Chain A
């Protein structure tokens, strides 16, 4: 059978892919009206939107009372959101009971934080090392003395007075920056060959993970003083910080451990056979790869920590959500049907903006770090 034989005379050159149809009509036809069922679903969807969008628009914008509105307008029968209340209470939402003439101090802390933190997030910004040291070492010290005062002629302002967004941000930033390294250490400890370290790490992780955050904060505020000698107290704010940090670090440890398990044994062995020590292997070879695998899980924990800060009301701190809930004298003056709702909406929007930013940034980071596996 000679027709089995074949020898190619010319190699086939690559040619461009066929053109795809484009344009709004083509898109709509493909995605919205491809089949009768699709068409019905599209129409139902449109119907739903016409039903839900106008009332929402009216509440948020159409009938809403703008920043310069009055209480009376907010109390009108068909009034929407009472933004005027948010505007007039903004200082309380941001600083809590922090003394009004001293509010420049948190402002400096906010500004410094932004100046140091934003360049850290931009990969191309120079002086990363100096920047990181300033942000992680110098900034917390400066911020503490600025906020708490009691030195350099600054009035002392006890942490009980701190509140609002200030507290939410401090707990989140401190919690995130401390729980991340702590979680890595715990994860490495859990994989350690040394039985004592391994047992301690497992015990810590399993204990903390099995208890709700509320319970930990509650223990910190009610139980801790019972064990302490008479007359000594630990600042409530500090207790909340420690509680949130330890809680998150236990979760972080398990996420990081997941990443460590994804690294093939050959990577550890290649590092070892080159004579790299344990910490060098971890720092240069294992962790950069492991952490990259678990960025979504890590950011998940950061976001959940950010939202969990609202639980510090348990120890009597007034974070953003608690500040919105607080009925102080000026809040009572703004009493109307929609005031509380508007307050909660505002808190929700602030939380959403922060959490969504974290989420977007992590997606950007994932894309950027993907280079190593490029084929």
Chain B
């Protein structure tokens, strides 16, 4: 568990405000099966704009599947998922509409290895948003500076370290100027020395009021940035609470067991 410096924490809190009225994501009675296997069961979740949610749970509990349903990388079979007011159905137009506004960062970065960093960042803004190339490049450089690696713009992903690649992946999503960011175990594939640099970028995003859902095992990050922690097991939401209460006073037996396993 990487602890992030106290100074960042002091800076972090005051700006992070949660909207009382605007719903970013609403999941209602959602079920999902992989063939006969019931992976997600009766998921109900309402995320307001500006919320920072951390989803924790043992492997195979369905946390990744849940956030992958939110931008329809996975299909749900029952219930409703409404993102930015658009309900996800089989309609490709709606799916693309949602994906344009929802950024996603993957465990294994998934940068495009045949394109330079700058091309990775400008591809979608140019072809999905129709932004002129020069403008897209300027935006890309802005976000590369924000993740502190503008000097890598003309390199290929394979030439960067894992932490740098993940920061590029975050910048790539930001270039689409999304309303919501999904993080699928963004630090799990990184060397221990590189976890912090990625977490710092995520914290600074939270400070700016980005609506975020992070699947992560970084409990320090959850404590510091999240306004809500969700614990999942066997495809269900077992418990959710504010981080302070969640960590100090877990209610469900499964949650207690999980926390005792990971907080040594």
Contact = CB atoms under 8 A, between A and B. Distances in A.
B95 to A, nearest CB: 9
B167 interface: no
A325 interface: no
B110 A274 contact: no
Interface string B99-111: 1101110101011
A269 B108 CA distance: 11
A374 B127 CA distance: 26
B33 interface: no
Given A372-B114, A373-B113, A276 B127 contact: yes
Name which of B111, B124, B173 has the most chain A CB atoms within 10 A of its CB. Answer: B124
B159 interface: yes
Contact of A274 (B114, B115, B158, B176): B176
A292 B169 CA distance: 23
Contacts of B96: 275, 277
Contacts of B112: 267, 270-271, 284-285, 289
A266 interface: yes
Given A275-B100, A372-B156, A374-B158, A270 B127 contact: no
B224 to A, nearest CB: 26
A365 interface: no
A375 interface: yes
Nearest to A278: B92
A371 interface: yes
A208 to B, nearest CB: 31
A62 interface: no
B178 to A, nearest CB: 9
B156 A371 contact: yes
A274 B106 contact: no
B73 A273 contact: yes
A217 to B, nearest CB: 39
A269 B158 contact: no
A195 interface: no
Contacts of B127: 276, 280, 284
Could you say which interface size class chain B belongs to?
A: 20 to 34
B128 interface: yes
A275 B176 contact: yes
Nearest to B182: A273
B172 to A, nearest CB: 7
A273 B103 contact: yes
B73 A272 contact: yes
A276 B129 CA distance: 10
A288 B114 contact: yes
A275 B73 CA distance: 11
Contacts of A267: 110, 112
Contacts of A288: 114
Contacts of A266: 106, 108, 110
A284 B124 CA distance: 10
Nearest to B127: A280
B99 A274 contact: yes
B128 A276 contact: yes
A372 B113 contact: yes
B127 to A, nearest CB: 5
Given A284-B127, A371-B156, A374-B159, A273 B104 contact: yes
B225 interface: no
Name which of A269, A274, A284 has the most chain B CB atoms within 10 A of its CB. Answer: A274
A264 B110 CA distance: 9
Contacts of A371: 156
A373 B111 CA distance: 12
A375 B169 CA distance: 18
B71 interface: yes
B123 interface: yes
Contacts of B173: 273-274
Interface in B80-128: 96, 99-100, 102-104, 106, 108, 110-115, 123-124, 127-128
15 contacts: A266-B106, A267-B110, A269-B73, A272-B73, A273-B102, A274-B124, A274-B173, A275-B99, A275-B176, A276-B124, A284-B127, A285-B123, A372-B156, A372-B158, A374-B156
The 10 tightest CB contacts between A and B, nearest first, are A270-B110, A274-B124, A266-B110, A372-B114, A275-B100, A273-B104, A275-B99, A275-B128, A288-B114, A372-B113
